[in-house]
Amino acid sequence: MAKAPAKVPAAAHVLIDFKPQHGYFVGIDSDGCAFDAMELKHKECFIPTIVRVWGLQAVSKYTRETCEFVNLYSKTRGLNRWIALSRVFDLLRERPEVTARGAKVPKGDKIKEFIDSGYPLSHAGMVQYAADHPHPELEQAVQWSMAVDEAIEAMVHGVPPFPWVRESLQEMQGQVDLMVVSATPVEALEREWGENGIAQYMTVIAGQEMGTKLQHLQFAAKGKYDDDHILLIGDAPGDRDAAKGAGVLYYPINPGAEDKSWKRFYHEAFGKFLDGTYEGAYEASLIAEFEKLLPEMPPWQKLSRVEWDD
């Protein structure tokens, strides 16, 4: 089925109406990029609710391993929750260990239809889609998404930004327009950035309700600044792709070396961004380094079929 054109979310008017105050724009992702909250959210919030709500207790070990690969330790790191959930289901159904235990893994066909529908890929988008296209799988999807958000609200507190984030935000003040560019719900973003005293540095906090990260850049920055005056900072290939899709610059926060990445941004990369020497060989070298860190193939797929026949 062809993917429907993405609808402009009602909340996106804040980005569309945004007017530059400076000649440069920097968008910053939140989970796993500004905050060391990604593993906490997935391991303590997303994965337990997937096991519970989707009835995967019989294969919880393999569900956890698959979820961690999809969301944390591969090139799909940082995927939107619905796209990631669909991929988890697909990978689980292919696993011999899961088949051997007779576990019933959801097909996720209705979730795939939602992903391709053009509705906003947010909790609110799923609620609306489920209301417009009633189906038990979509009701379960709404229940799961709500459970995830409730778990995050209860669990994720007191997580500080990575070292050098605050210093970098302070350094950029008065020189660039700063915006949070995230697939996390706005309520959680405002709570996390606010409790750490760094929301004050951001002109806008954009979450999933305002569209995709690519849309955030297109609505808020594209055409309002020179392309080489727009930079997205992120920790996932999807962030890189959003920057590339918008035709703007990308600075990677390397998973496992976040502190060093932010220190390098503060001492080196930000200056290059301002003086026009970031684009080109320097940016390419950073992205090449970043891309080596995340595999594409799950480790269990590297096992030979012979091992499963023993």
Q: What is the DSSP string of 99-149?
A: HHTT------HHHHHHHTS-S-SSHHHHHHHHHHS--HHHHHHHHHHHHHH
pLDDT value of position 299? 93
β-bridge mates for residue 181, sequence order: 206
pLDDT tens, per residue, the chain with 310 residues:
445 556 788 889 999 999 999 999 999 999 999 999 999 999 999 999 999 999 999 999 999 999 999 999 999 999 999 999 999 999 999 999 999 999 999 999 999 999 999 998 989 999 999 999 999 999 999 999 999 999 999 999 999 999 999 999 999 999 999 999 998 989 999 999 999 999 999 999 999 899 999 999 999 999 999 999 999 999 999 999 999 999 999 999 999 999 999 999 999 999 999 999 999 999 999 999 999 999 999 999 876 444 544 4
pLDDT value of position 174? 95
Closest Cα partner for 232 from 263, 265, 264?
A: 265
Strand stretches in the chain, DSSP E: 25-28, 177-181, 204-206, 230-234, 249-252
pLDDT value of position 306? 43
pLDDT value of position 4? 57
Q: Tokens for 155, please give them.
A: 């669990």
Domains in the chain with CATH codes = 10-37+161-291 (3.40.50.1000), 38-155 (no CATH)
β-bridge mates for residue 25, sequence order: 177, 230
